[in-house]
Amino acid sequence: MNYKVRVATSDDASAVQAIYAPMVLDTVISFELIPPTVDEMAARIAATVPIYPFLVAEVEGKVVGYAYAGQHRAREAYRWSVDVTVYIDPAVHRKGLGRALYQRLLPLLEKQGFHAAYAGIALHNAGSIGIHEALGFTHIGTYPEVGYKHSQWHSVGYWRKPLCAVTPPKEIIPFIEVEGV
């Protein structure tokens, strides 16, 4: 499959929202209950990109997937940890796009100085677990019955991937300042 991975812009909000909305409405992959609007998605992209990467994958000029990083927790000592996620249009699942997005995202995070990436996966999602473990994430624990959606409780497993092992850590380089972006 011929694809291109690039940095997202607010102009990608409609395509990103179209991929994400069914995940919100029809699955427990996302714990949101109401899909964000296109304007909300544009605001999320714009708010993410100064500090964290937000990438999209295109096939023949159409956005078919995206991956991004975000703040792990609000307290200052967590600033070297980052949460990551990837969403792919079901029409192109299992074509290597999730892997391609993460293979671009994770080195960027390491270059920025993040110490570790974390992924929360609503259980049981064998595809998501498989891609994360294939890329070097290891399971570190599970929050049992942490979210209630579609009339039942759902557990979330957490996976961790080491990135930059510098101790003491250096300050994080904002994404907009990373060379080659």
Domain that holds residue 27: 4-168
- Are the C-beta atoms of 20 and 30 separated by less than 8 Å? yes
- pLDDT tens per residue across span 6-59: 999 999 999 999 999 999 999 999 999 999 999 999 999 999 999 999 999 999
CA distance 64 to 90: 9
CA distance 63 to 93: 13
Is residue 181 in some structural domain? no
CATH number at residue 107: 3.40.630.30
- pLDDT tens per residue across span 111-161: 999 999 999 999 988 889 999 999 999 999 999 999 999 999 999 999 999
Is residue 20 in some structural domain? yes
Is residue 88 in some structural domain? yes
